[in-house]
């Protein structure tokens, strides 16, 4: 088709890349691996919560505690004292998180939460739990090529870490497309409009989007 159209790539003028799929950050690249969604979220949570304190930004954005291929990983991230911040914490605040790789690990964690005397909810033990159904995350999903290399998942994960390390922007909240979306439509994270369009709540029978009750009424 290229030849029949008479296209000569060497003679074409230089142009600009058209990011028709949008613009992603290093944090987005990590979504393909277990722990990646958690790490991207922690980068944003830390900087948002610490803004205005003595530690407003991360000198090192990697959260190694949530990296790896273990079925279950736990980590505690400490937010510095920041009474004027979004969390209004007078002293250091520990954010406890868990990462589940594979549904078997998620099931085990749910049983553990029930055994603690809770109702299976996050409760006081965790602020955030990431669950990826495929062991290793998307890098181990059904759409990936099969490999006899026993270290295939580890190599794929390390490749994503490398791409993230070389990215110009590494935290999701620095994505200019996301910033433009909030500036024009969503106002700010946690706004009424953002809650209505982006958030869901879980109920028996399935998830419901915030604002569904209003639409029904």
The domain that holds 82 is classified in CATH as 3.40.950.10
Name the 3-class secondary structure at 133: coil
Provide the domain count of the chain: 1
Report pLDDT for 85: 85
Predicted TM-score of the model (pTM):
0.80
Residue 186 falls within a domain, yes or no?
Answer: no
Residue 112 falls within a domain, yes or no?
Answer: yes
DSSP label at 141?
A: S
Residue 87 falls within a domain, yes or no?
Answer: yes
Report pLDDT for 217: 44
Cβ of 28: how many Cβ atoms within 10 Å? 21
pLDDT tens by residue, 54-66 = 655 677 899 999 9
Report pLDDT for 16: 81
Residue 103 falls within a domain, yes or no?
Answer: yes
Cβ of 214: how many Cβ atoms within 10 Å? 8
Residue 196 falls within a domain, yes or no?
Answer: no
- Pinpoint the alpha helices (H) of the chain: 26-29, 36-50, 103-115, 152-165, 176-181, 192-198, 212-216
Task: Find the domain containing 68 and state its range.
Answer: 22-141+149-172
Residues 6 or more apart whose CB falls under 8 angstroms from that of 98 comprise 72, 73, 74, 75, 109, 126, 128, 129, 130
Cβ of 72: how many Cβ atoms within 10 Å? 16
How far is Cα 18 from Cα 74, in angstroms, rounded to an integer? 40
Q: If the chain, 217 residues long, is cut into consecutive pieces of 10 residues, what is the mean pLDDT of each piece?
A: 92 82 90 98 92 68 95 93 89 94 94 71 77 96 93 98 96 92 91 91 70 57
How far is Cα 217 from Cα 201, in angstroms, rounded to an integer? 18
pLDDT tens by residue, 84-112 = 888 899 999 999 999 999 999 999 998 88
Residue 124 falls within a domain, yes or no?
Answer: yes
Report pLDDT for 137: 97
How far is Cα 155 from Cα 161, in angstroms, rounded to an integer? 10
Report pLDDT for 6: 93
Work out whether the CA dihedral 86, 87, 88, 90 comes out positive or negative.
Answer: negative
């Amino acid at each position: 088709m290229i030849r029949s159209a008479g296209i000569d790539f060497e003679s074409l003028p230089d142009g600009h890349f058209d990011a028709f799929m949008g613009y992603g950050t290093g944090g987005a690249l990590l979504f393909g691996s277990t722990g990646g969604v958690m790490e991207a979220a922690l980068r944003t949570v830390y900087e948002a919560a610490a803004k205005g304190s003595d530690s407003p930004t991360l000198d090192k954005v990697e959260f190694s505690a949530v990296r790896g291929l273990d079925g279950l990983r736990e980590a505690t991230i400490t937010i510095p004292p920041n009474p004027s911040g979004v969390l209004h914490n007078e002293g250091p605040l520990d954010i406890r998180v868990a990462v589940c790789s594979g549904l078997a690990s998620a099931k085990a964690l749910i049983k553990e939460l029930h055994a603690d005397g809770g109702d299976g909810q996050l409760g006081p033990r965790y602020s955030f739990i990431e669950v990826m159904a495929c062991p290793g995350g998307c890098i181990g999903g059904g759409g990936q090529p099969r490999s006899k290399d026993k270290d295939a998942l580890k190599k794929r994960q390390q490749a994503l870490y490398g791409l993230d390390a070389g990215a110009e922007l590494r935290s999701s909240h620095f994505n200019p497309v996301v910033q433009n979306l909030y500036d024009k439509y969503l106002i700010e994270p946690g706004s009424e409009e953002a809650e209505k369009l982006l958030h869901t709540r879980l109920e028996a029978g399935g998830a419901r989007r915030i604002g569904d009750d209003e639409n029904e009424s």
